[in-house]
A = this chain, B = another copy of it.
């Protein structure tokens, strides 16, 4: 074989800064090899929609390196193995993965690059098992894909969150206040941990370390007692109290039913501290701000190397693998070793211990 000649690329799942850097690198490096490149729009959905697949030329990827989002758009609907179908008795799921494979054959694809997190990479792996020549590129702002030191998008998300924390810092310091900021991370606390430490947070609450509300109160109270004029609490959206929601509610004597009424964990922690410490609390919920914006140099570089690496994998015929960063080098790992697993913050890992060494509290 003289090497594949036609490849397609898609961006699955949630948005992450750097997607366009990857798409651009896949397209440019493949085109520079003389290959033809297709873009599948809206994640796997593009296989099922009219005009969902289009040729990508160098012109199509011009000027996108510095942009957030994805020119192919993302989607986490459209899992071909469980594609939604409306029937008389409501929505059901059906397996349309065969159509994906047919479409790839019709297009004469020699390789499909799936850029995605756990969900999309899982689909990629199943398609590979059914015979499709798939390679993966790990993507998630949450950094929870195993097998790679880091995923692209994560660094930008941390930078964005840290900059928000920096801003809170200066204003907290000129009043006497507790600032609470809720950042992304339902299952993995990487953003809260890295943005929290680099932003100088005093307390960081993450899903991997269920927190004891009393410990959080004690930590902030101790800071106040030492003369600190403010405290900054960084909360991952998935952080939970050790003994479950009820305990948190109970500690808030003044508004016993308060915790049920309020949306996020950030709000709840703020109310806890206000109630217990009679201190003014302010809450910021960053939300999707963390998914957008121009990617950092690290995410663009990583995205570019991932994109080039994925085309290399196709050239080498290493299907069923995803590119990975290991020790600052691009390598590859088998999707089967990655799919369905999560890389979580280790409660006693180096980062957490370093944070604790400089006095950060994790509510434990």
A interface residues with partner B (beta carbon < 8 Å): 11, 14-15, 17, 19, 21, 24-25, 28-29, 32, 63, 65-70, 73-75, 149-150, 155, 158-164, 166-175, 179, 194-195, 197-200, 229, 261-263, 267, 282-294, 296-298, 300-301, 304-305, 307-309, 311, 326-330, 350-351, 353-355, 357-359
Per the bound structure, the CA–CA distance linking A73 and B173 in Å amounts to 8
**B288 and A285 form a contact (CB under 8 A):** no
User: When the two chains form the complex, which single residue of B17, B25, B288 contacts A172, counting CB atoms closer than 8 Å?
Assistant: B288
- By a CB distance below 8 angstroms, the chain B residues around A288 are 167-168, 171-172, 179, 282, 284
**A155 and B298 form a contact (CB under 8 A):** yes
Q: Is the interface of A mostly helix, strand, loop or mixed?
A: helix
**A297 and B68 form a contact (CB under 8 A):** no
- By a CB distance below 8 angstroms, the chain B residues around A65 are 198-200
User: Taking A32-B358, A169-B66 as contacts, is the C-beta distance between A15 and B298 under 8 angstroms?
Assistant: no
- By a CB distance below 8 angstroms, the chain B residues around A309 are 354
List 7 A-B pairs, Cβ < 8 Å: A25-B354, A66-B199, A163-B293, A168-B289, A198-B298, A198-B300, A263-B263
- By a CB distance below 8 angstroms, the chain B residues around A162 are 297, 300
Closest 8 A-B residue pairs measured CB to CB?
A68-B170, A167-B292, A171-B292, A198-B300, A69-B174, A284-B287, A167-B293, A69-B170
